[in-house]
């Protein structure tokens, strides 16, 4: 069993990458192949699956957490590796995990190959099991943003907006020319009230 591959990304395609490890090119299916840079060294966390039709297939992820989310999706009845990859490719991992944690069946039906029955099964099997994952992603993101912006994001949630609503406007807030939490809050409220 491989845990990860560390090597140079020699090819990036819409649904896979090729990782050269000491002269051997590994074809690795990924939900986010364009997150890698061709010609650059990368560490890709690997999950192997074997089937009679395709033989040994490698699936790769940018982090152990993303690999963990993939494995959790695979544990859901009716979801195979291709479906799990398609779901992860269609949405950032944090929004996906939050939707599952909040039981948003309708939101999950927008993913390729996920009908109402499968979406309900995902929520039934995984709700309550992704809280740590969401918390780690929040913590990583909070370390990347300024303290003033972080305070503003927490304030907007305290005002009653959902994490999902606040996450949608965060990129715009990050680009704003604000000096204090108050300025971020005012701008954030103006964005949220437009919707």
* 49 in a structural domain: yes
So what's the pLDDT on residue 164? 77
How far apart CA 138 and CA 154 sit, in angstroms, is: 11
So what's the pLDDT on residue 145? 66
Shared domain check, 85 and 55: no
So what's the pLDDT on residue 158? 86
So what's the pLDDT on residue 151? 84
* 136 in a structural domain: no
Q: Among residues 61, 78, 96, which one ends one of the domains?
A: 61
* 54 in a structural domain: yes
Q: What is the pTM of this model?
A: 0.70
**Residue in 178, 190, 119, 118 with CA at minimum distance from that of residue 150:** 178
* 103 in a structural domain: yes
- Whichever domain contains 126, its CATH number is 1.10.150.20
Shared domain check, 126 and 69: yes
So what's the pLDDT on residue 143? 59
- Whichever domain contains 30, its CATH number is 2.40.50.140
Shared domain check, 125 and 71: yes
What's the domain count of the chain? Answer: 3
* 139 in a structural domain: no
Shared domain check, 54 and 8: yes
* Domain of 168, in residue numbers: 145-194
pLDDT string in tens for the chain (195-residue length) = 789 999 999 999 999 999 999 999 999 999 999 999 999 999 999 999 998 888 899 999 998 888 999 999 999 988 999 889 988 887 677 778 888 888 889 888 888 778 899 999 999 999 888 877 777 766 665 556 678 888 888 888 888 888 778 878 888 888 888 888 888 898 889 888 875
* 180 in a structural domain: yes
How far apart CA 38 and CA 19 sit, in angstroms, is: 10
- Whichever domain contains 177, its CATH number is 1.10.8
So what's the pLDDT on residue 122? 92
Shared domain check, 8 and 55: yes
For CA atoms 3, 28, 91, 144, give the dihedral sign. positive
């Amino acid at each position: 069993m491989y845990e990860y591959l560390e090597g140079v990304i020699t090819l990036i395609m819409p649904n896979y990458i090729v990782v050269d490890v000491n002269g051997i090119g590994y074809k690795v299916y990924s939900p986010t192949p364009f997150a890698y840079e061709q010609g650059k060294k990368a560490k890709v966390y690997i999950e192997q699956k074997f089937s009679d039709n395709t033989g040994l297939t490698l699936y790769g992820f940018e982090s152990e957490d993303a690999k963990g989310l993939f494995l959790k999706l695979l544990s859901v009845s009716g979801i195979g590796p291709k479906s799990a990859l398609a779901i992860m490719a269609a949405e950032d991992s944090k929004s996906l995990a939050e939707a599952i944690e909040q039981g948003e069946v309708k939101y999950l039906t927008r993913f390729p190959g996920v009908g109402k029955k499968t979406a309900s099964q995902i929520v039934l099997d995984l709700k309550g099991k992704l809280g740590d994952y969401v918390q780690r992603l929040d913590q990583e993101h909070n370390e990347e943003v300024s303290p003033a912006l972080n305070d503003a994001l927490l304030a907007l949630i305290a005002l009653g907006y959902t994490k999902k609503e606040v996450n949608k406007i965060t990129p715009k807030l990050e680009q704003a020319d604000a000096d204090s939490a108050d300025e971020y809050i005012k701008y954030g409220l103006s964005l949220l009230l437009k919707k």
